[in-house]
A and B are shown apart, each in its own frame.
Chain A
């Protein structure tokens, strides 16, 4: 139920609302929880709300973590 669907913001329509493209389908979402989202941003959408703005650098960081773990490097976890 915490499923979040990725989408790209196509147009800001005012009142914290936007049109977003979710895998080919356009629908209205609320930016109330991600007020800094802009046209072109990729966001995670949950229950009609953009919950998080994703950027390419974070995606690359995730991939780097995956590659690091695969080659035996531990994550920089907080010290106990």
Chain B
């Protein structure tokens, strides 16, 4: 039979309570009364750790911290303002993943712009945005390129597709971010002690194991590539606990059904053909050298930054919002003065509460 993970193993296998119990026992046994902090950097981990009740099952000394794993959340306000500026430009259709809609910019949001009559459309795939451009030849369709290495190859493939089909009215505002440079910045940040990284499964599907090795060697922080079902997450934590307590500073792959050691070279090739590394600003982490992806000159006809004048006013951050500290893992969402009071999923102040996979949204949904 086909299971929910797309493999011919019974679906319940990845949620088997007996196996979960053994893994939990193992974690308790290894951790003992040690204080250990493990950070995940993937929004799906953030959600599933909450959804499956993994945090309260940990020994009291083991802390699971959510880092900058939500692409929408790490997108700085000035980039949101640029997207809004594009939505206001005449003859432009903005196409975006749904998560971006309600993220507040300095004075507006894409949802508010749409309510005011601007043409903002949600798409499931960047290829849908290419089709949208074909169907609307009199408009320019700008796709908001937000996401990590999982998503960037799909956007690269869409730009190549637009070129192959001769679609000249498809553009991309590239705000893509790279995971490894952010992990290095976090490991070097003295304000937080991290004993190990729960490495993002589907980013690793593309990048493979090698980008993390330097991290383990140079920064001395081990990492385990981890899948998303309860057993996957517990296995990742058990292995990290073992690495942290025995001083093994290496990288292991606990998700081989989703991640080949070499990653997906075809996806990386396309990504590198269209994009090149550039310095990027992260909400919370600030500027990180070569942590973003810009569109190469050869593809500048598809680059919204090159084709539009997108000078925006200096960004204004929402008063009292501490998403930046939450994204660095130095502030637990529940300790933000706004959390659950001025800032709720219904009336969010910052992006970590807006996005369905933001740390604050997850904490509000699963911990309150």
Chain A residues in the interface with B (C-beta under 8 A): 1-4, 6-8, 23, 30, 32-35, 42-44, 46-49, 51-52, 54-56, 58-63, 65-67, 69-72, 74-80
8 pairs of residues in contact across A and B, judged by CB atoms under 8 Å: A2-B148, A33-B267, A44-B258, A47-B147, A56-B8, A66-B19, A70-B22, A75-B253
User: Could you list 9 further interchain pairs (A-B, Cβ under 8 angstroms) beyond the known A79-B250, A80-B217?
Assistant: A1-B71, A30-B127, A32-B161, A33-B267, A47-B126, A48-B125, A49-B154, A55-B257, A58-B7
Given A2-B148, A4-B205, A49-B154, A59:B231 Cβ within 8 A: no
Chain A residue at smallest Cβ distance from B357: A1
Is B157's CB under 8 angstroms from A46's CB? no
Which residues of B (196-249) have their CB < 8 Å from a CB of A? 200-203, 205-206, 209, 213, 216-217, 222, 224, 227, 231-232, 234-235, 238-239, 242-243, 248-249
Is A1's CB under 8 angstroms from B270's CB? no
Q: Given the complex, which residues of B lie within 8 Å of A3, measured CB to CB?
A: 43-44, 202
Is A1's CB under 8 angstroms from B264's CB? no
Q: Given the complex, which residues of B lie within 8 Å of A54, measured CB to CB?
A: 5-7, 257-258
Chain B residues in the interface with A (C-beta under 8 A): 2, 4-9, 13, 19, 22-23, 25-26, 42-44, 70-72, 97, 99, 124-128, 146-148, 150-151, 153-154, 157, 160-161, 200-203, 205-206, 209, 213, 216-217, 222, 224, 227, 231-232, 234-235, 238-239, 242-243, 248-260, 264, 266-267, 270, 355, 357
Is B7's CB under 8 angstroms from A33's CB? no
Instruction: Name B9's contact: one of A56, A67, A75, A76 (CB within 8 Å).
Output: A56
Instruction: Name A76's contact: one of B249, B252, B264 (CB within 8 Å).
Output: B252
